[in-house]
Amino acid sequence: MKIVVIGAGSIGSVLGVRLAATGNEVALLARGAHLAAIRARGLTLIDQVGSFSGVHRLTSSDEPRELAAGGTADLIFITLKAHQIAAMLSRITPLVGRDTVVVPAINGLPWWYFYRFGGAHDGRTVRSLDPDGAMFAALDPRRIIGCVLHFAAEVRAPGEVQHTSGVRIIVGEPDRSDSARLRAVGAALERAQFKAEQASDIRLAVWTKLLGNLSFNPIAALTGYLMNQICADEALLDQIRAMMREGMRVAEHFGTRVPMTPDQRIDMARQLGGAKISMLQDLEQGRPLELAAVIGAVIELAEQADIDVPTIRTVHALAQARARALRLA
């Protein structure tokens, strides 16, 4: 397959290396010092999880049109931060052919969440993510396969990425169908030695991860703690449990019952060990935080459902203030 990874930071780089090493033609969209290092020296992966450590030479650019010079892509992974996607969707048009499949592998509630949702909420827009529907206009949602990632990685230095934990990737069609293209994506990920799961309901996977993101991510940004440090602090875990319970009520109102307790979800997080959570990485690197997709969208849905989410609101306000104080918002 010809695969393009849009946003070759930590997660995108791991995806790109593994998919290229298992027989696919892979190109990376990156930028800045990271791109310059990849072009000059190759992409170095420190793989603590599998057998892909080494220097990998991959086609890379900061311009999608350059990556389309050899033709359109069969498969595009979007691994950007949620707030970066809207501006990028119109730029990837040269890469999109008749049968191109697009897999947004992103944190938070995805902008396409209500596409082919069914029922009274079908097709609605999440204002905090796509207020005027521009993202749907820029990319035909029929191309989308949903994706939820459960692995951690970190850019150690420009051109150097460390894969610290996890290999689980869940993919699913927005309309809950079993399709040939879904099976093809799952097979490509399996060959790349990910633990790929094809979900009959990708929104359950979205909420299962989102419960962790909306709680652990801002707590990490506020405290500077790694995942194992948060999990060892009972006072913080009490706040995380409260946020998860509030999030579960919102999810259930919109038709998704998460079949686990907050403590079971916390146990999932413990499996990441001493990982540095993405929002803390962003804060330390001086990048904007993914607050709208990870927390703001949940608050928006809670307001629409008239559900009180006081702990989520409090932590959100604190994280927003932290971002403003560091000039990241």
- Residue 151 CA from chain centroid, whole number: 10
Pair type for strands 96-104 and 73-78: parallel
Between β-strands 146-157 and 96-104, what pairing exists: parallel, antiparallel or unpaired? unpaired
Q: How many CB atoms lie within 10 A of CB 67?
A: 25
Which member of 2, 81, 209, 276 is catalytic? 209
Distant-in-sequence, close-in-space partners of 309: CB < 8 Å, separation ≥ 6: 246, 247, 249, 250, 298, 299, 302
Question: How crowded is residue 107: how many other Cβ atoms within 10 Å of its Cβ?
Answer: 22
What is the distance between the alpha carbons of residues 322 and 329, in angstroms, rounded to a whole number?
9
Is position 2 annotated as part of the catalytic site? no
The answer to whether the beta carbons of residues 104 and 144 sit under 8 Å apart is yes
Active site residues: 209
